[in-house]
Amino acid sequence: MTMLDEQAREVLRRNDRGGYTVPTDGLYPYQWNWDSAFAAWGFATFDLPRAWQELETLMAAQWDDGMVPHIIFHRSDPGYFPGPDVWATNRTPATSGISQPPVAASLARLIWQEDEEMGQARLAALYPRLVAWHRWWHDKRCTHGPAAITHPWESGRDNCPDWDIGMAGVDSSGVGEYTRRDTGHVDPSMRPSKAEYDRYIAMVQFGVSVGWDQQRIVAEGPFLMADPGITFILLRAHQDLAVLGRALGQDVSEIESWAMELRNALPLIWNPVLQAYDAKNLRTGEFAGVLGSGAFLAYLAGAANPELDAQLMRVWDAVQYGIPSADPEAEIFDPRRYWRGPAWPVVNSLMAIGLRDAGRDDLVARLKNETAELIERHGFFEYFDPIDATPCGGDNFTWTAAIWLTWAGKDRGEERAKGAA
């Protein structure tokens, strides 16, 4: 075990709050949905019972309609905004009112593959909750075909340029005064702008005003966009959930039908002008016209094509480290501002799974090497400048540590030895 391996384990242990893991201390003091799933994957490399516990704690916060919220407020922390009083979902424990990328089934499959015998019972207990969450996505968010989001935070790629056209229509004039906490932990130039944040809060206030009625939020809310990233993550998760269901002796025909419907909807988010998958404003039918990392998650779902291959290589070759979250040749590109340009080890790992399945071992090796170099040089930061490797966002970040243990740092010593030879 290398020194970085032990440091990564220590990050997970330090961010462990007893049954759930925070993304990083201070900046994100609660349990975040997809961060937690990646934490579970990381724990699986050295503590399988703790890995299952992470998923169990996440799924225990599931709403009656099947939604698994994007934040679970297990304990009070006045250092975070917007907290449970702003979301006002009237849940115990308190939660936010939106969801997040449904990676849990895919990562549960990877964990189960490391623990098939001992983990079978824990998987069997989780499985119905995973199915209910996938049904929620199908029934509540795939009503227009592709998976849609009702708030940029639901995408997990909060302020990426994909959402600009939808955000432009959000009226934030009545938001009122509030104090952000994120910019007290991280350089404000690396975070969303105030104008963006005002609109985020306006969307939360709309959800509160309708009692978090998901049907009304989709029908009447200020923001509704088809999200390629969620679409591909959900499609892959449907496939992985079906594998788990079959292993448990379950009838997976319903899950397979969801996957087929979603795959049949992919042409609706293909933008022929962009020559790539693209976000779409479902209120107007307008494409975002922005090439982002969500499009490249097509590889995770086995939905790539030669046109997308060409776009991937163009944007990748324009930077030095990993897949940028926005097109480096576009005016909107900002290499250090959250999802408007930086490279994210966690997204790189998802793309690597898809590239591996497509037999693109050369690209997997390149992506792994570039991601590992970022971490080796600067440690477990949230994201990085893809041009000069400047570390950005929060430090000692759970999912970056998890990605080191599960993928980027795995067999790193052996690979270096081979390279030297």
Judge residue 219's burial from the number of C-beta atoms within 10 Å of its C-beta, 0-12 exposed, 13-18 middle, 19 or more buried: exposed
Residues 331 and 323: beta-carbon distance below 8 Å: no
- What is the full per-residue pLDDT of the chain (421 aa) written as tens digits? 689 999 999 999 999 999 999 999 888 899 999 999 999 999 999 999 999 999 999 999 999 999 999 999 999 888 788 999 999 999 999 999 999 999 999 999 999 999 998 899 999 999 999 999 999 999 999 999 999 999 999 999 999 999 999 999 999 999 988 876 676 666 777 677 888 899 999 999 999 999 999 999 999 999 999 999 999 999 999 999 999 999 999 999 999 999 999 999 999 999 999 999 999 999 999 999 999 999 999 999 999 999 999 999 999 999 999 999 999 999 999 999 999 999 999 999 999 999 999 999 999 999 999 999 999 999 999 999 999 999 999 999 999 999 999 999 998 866 654 554 4
From the list 16, 158, 162, 395, the catalytic residue is 158
Closest CA to 161 of 381, 390, 351, 334: 334
The span from the CA of 199 to the CA of 195, in Å, is 7
Q: What is the pLDDT of residue 421?
A: 42
65 among known catalytic residues: no
Q: What share of the chain is helix, strand, coil (3-state, %, to 5)?
A: 55, 5, 40
Give helix 228-247 / helix 116-136 axis angle, nearest 10°: 130
183-201: b (≥16 Cβ within 10 Å) or e: eebbeeebbbeeebbbbbb
158 among known catalytic residues: yes
pTM, two decimals, is: 0.96
Closest CA to 354 of 301, 407, 277, 311: 301
From the list 198, 227, 334, 382, the catalytic residue is 382
Q: What is the largest CA-CA distance in the chain?
A: 64
The span from the CA of 207 to the CA of 217, in Å, is 7
- Angle among Cα 405, 410, 413 to the nearest 5 degrees reads 125
Residues 77 and 67: beta-carbon distance below 8 Å: no
Q: What is the pLDDT of residue 229?
A: 98
Residues 34 and 100: beta-carbon distance below 8 Å: yes
